[in-house]
Chains A and B, each alone.
Chain A
């Protein structure tokens, strides 16, 4: 089954390109470390999922590119085509001239409705190219105007037009210290709206990825391209083909469905975080070896201590011991030490995946009490190695990962809202103060729910 990606705004389009590029590179990888037959199955599944066949033989990404100004899309289309290995369908894009001016209201209330039909037509066309549609990825940042505002609107349209398909929003969390001054408003508006229409939100934080680039990848002058490539690698490591159940003989046909089923048991809890290990520069890769026990141990602790990468993990944090009273949960403003999960998914790729012991992830102490630990934890795996990593493990988690982050953003937005700064820029386009209040209420609700796990 196939996934159609909708790339929204500058960020969405820049990242979307890197994702397809990473997937295509992995497709062509000669370091699969598995049998030829296995590799062929993998490639077959990958192609069906992300690309459609063209007469020319060059795979065409299943994607729709949307932006309110033309520079990024035109660049994205041309660099993809230049690669020779894959390209976009040059009809599958829509852009305008003026941009959204970092104004969520402009994206949502003006551009959205105005261009709804054209965009949904393009999406419909892509959907029709699929033999079977698994669902949609949207890629967007929360900080700007198009990705965030128009992205929220488009997500709603997708939900209306495809009520039975899955929708996973890749949401890019901006750097804490401004890229955009009104980013907190835009983020609050985006998150609250997406919560109504998306099945889940998979969050990538610029700050965290930046640190990975600096400390793990050793990149000196980090560019947005570097950041985007790390995000692309992380996404690829989850969504490239895998076997999603023990003893399965075929690659999973429905990755989005499987994901939602495992990780989103309740519509109040849709925030997903992503961790990937190991992560390093290509140079270091050739000199490093890893053991599964080591990787899994680190990944587990990253989950428990809410670490963003495999360095600097706080090993002191422990889950509460059975029989001992659970310590009272601190309110969201105080530092949370132990990260409680609702559900987790671990994806393993590469050598000896069959022998990996994941018992540590089945520990009931990691989870809330609603789900049976057997249900709360799922594994996907494939012996086919990903992107030159002999062994790689990823974790997609529905837990308190994002609680502090979200709380921060809501706090800052609220602080600004109290002074009414910039509000006139939004009311100009039809988003009133009451709308803001509704969004704040929705998010405080979500925060409360996550805090009480």
Chain B
């Protein structure tokens, strides 16, 4: 972990702010954030760790002491999702943070920077919010998406030093992304990552967002994953990967995906696979429910899992926005307990610890409920229980999978909002009998309670399952790969890239097959009765 060089601003220099021009921020963010006047608390000394020293910081309460995460968004898909994430993150914090004070929750994903004249780029750790900058790295080998972001309402959230772009794209070719651009941009990438890490007091996690089927997200994205492991071995690597569907119009997506899978197998701590078909079904379902006469008028618009209502984005939503919002919400919920308080915290390192029983089995199937909340606030516990049931239904999973009929290795439930431990326990007891858990983890539940609900909801649930139901996604991928590979279709496009050899392909498919085999072996234990190992005998 790179030690930070802290810079404390003297809070008393925090004079009244001039309002930023309307239109650069949008409706929805609390006016208080850009308000005038008011004393800011003077900073208490705290960030004095010498560079390199691992000496403990005995900090005064109030100093920024939480961990930070950095988002690395790679490729077109990765950046589109990333953009939605930052937008909704700002919305979420604005809803909770009424006073416009830069607090610890915000610091997990945002820096606070004084961008006024002569302010430089120094981080301001306490006091009023000046200008929030995302802890992010935006990487794309085409300029389209990133340029759009930089011209859009979120432009002030990113600074130009956080971007790596090129013009010609990767041609849907993993080898171009990974070997060509990877080699070319490695130093750039390392340098920018280091800079982002230096702004973090205590960097805990990298979130990589990308798609598997193309060239940049898939190839360069997994290259970055390697770099993260090499340069920051202590920092967790959570990867959100969008897998291609069967009807994907990119012919070579199976190659790209399988080549990327090998990297995910070997270098990611946790992977959250996502499939567009699932996102699309959820979007359709919501659309159906809200436009049908009955519920349409009573649904709280900003509660829709797919909605950007209340965020900065004011222009019309693009077709993928709704789907991408779902993934953005996934990441927000995943990190909620690390940012906000609750009676049973679930930090990111706990997710990896509890859900990954063997190093390579780190693929987690996720589901989010509820999809929307009705404006009628009265929530009997029956509705709460419905939320728990829905989390296990195949319609709510973010990949095409049915966890209920496969084998659980472990399951995590992260609850947000007004839910107590008794609600949690009641529902686990109720749902347990219909779920199959592996014999050595019959009570494999990890739970978390975060007090702060998402925008528009009184409570919500994120379920993360390490479940063999992920296997079909992989076997189908393998089948599609083999169809192409047997005919050697398009291979030459890959092999002509420097550093790319046939063995890359054979190793990749082998890695995938091994993974599938591990899941097969676990599935085989599902029907066999558990044989319990005999205990140690003590001689008296």
Contact = CB atoms under 8 A, between A and B. Distances in A.
A101 B347 contact: yes
A97 interface: yes
**Chain A interface extent, by class:** 35 or more
Interface residues of B, number: 57
Contacts of A405: none
Contacts of A410: 535
B439 A424 contact: no
B167 interface: no
Contact of B345 (A10, A418, A421, A440): A10
Interface in B49-87: 54, 56-59, 61-62, 65-67
Given A98-B67, A115-B56, A181-B410, A415 B341 contact: no
Interface in A412-432: 412, 414-416, 418-422, 424-425
B123 interface: no
A102 B420 contact: no
A215 interface: no
A103 B347 contact: no
Interface in A138-194: 145, 175-182
A113 to B, nearest CB: 11
Contact of B66 (A97, A422, A452): A97
Interface in A72-107: 72-75, 77-78, 90, 94-103
Contact of A223 (B67, B409, B420, B432): B420
B122 to A, nearest CB: 21
Contact of B347 (A78, A99, A221, A420): A99
Interface string B342-370: 01110101101111111100000000000
Contact of B65 (A90, A95, A416, A445): A95
A103 B236 CA distance: 14
Contacts of A178: 428, 443-447
A94 B58 contact: yes
Nearest to B204: A98
Contacts of A257: none
B249 to A, nearest CB: 40
Contacts of A118: 56, 58
Contacts of A96: 56-57
A71 B341 contact: yes
A245 B204 CA distance: 55
A444 B539 CA distance: 10
Q: Which of A71, A90, A176, A225 lies at the interface centre, i.e. has the most chain B CB atoms within 10 A of its CB?
A: A71
A220 B384 CA distance: 14
B355 A181 contact: yes
B208 interface: no
Contacts of B359: 424
Nearest to A74: B61
B353 A425 contact: yes
Contacts of A210: 421-422, 425
A448 interface: yes
Contacts of B421: 210, 222-224, 227
Interface in A104-121: 114-115, 118
Given A102-B350, A412-B443, A418-B440, A97 B65 contact: yes
Interface string A203-244: 000000010011000011111110100000000000000000
A26 B12 CA distance: 44
B48 to A, nearest CB: 14
Contacts of A452: 540
B344 A221 contact: no
Interface of B: 54, 56-59, 61-62, 65-67, 104, 201-202, 204, 341, 343-345, 347, 349-350, 352-359, 381, 409-410, 420-423, 425, 428-429, 432, 439-447, 449, 532-533, 535-538, 540
Interface of A: 10, 14, 69-75, 77-78, 90, 94-103, 114-115, 118, 145, 175-182, 210, 213-214, 219-225, 227, 410-412, 414-416, 418-422, 424-425, 440-441, 444-445, 448, 452
14 contacts: A69-B67, A70-B61, A71-B345, A72-B345, A75-B341, A97-B204, A98-B204, A102-B446, A177-B429, A177-B432, A178-B444, A181-B354, A415-B439, A441-B536
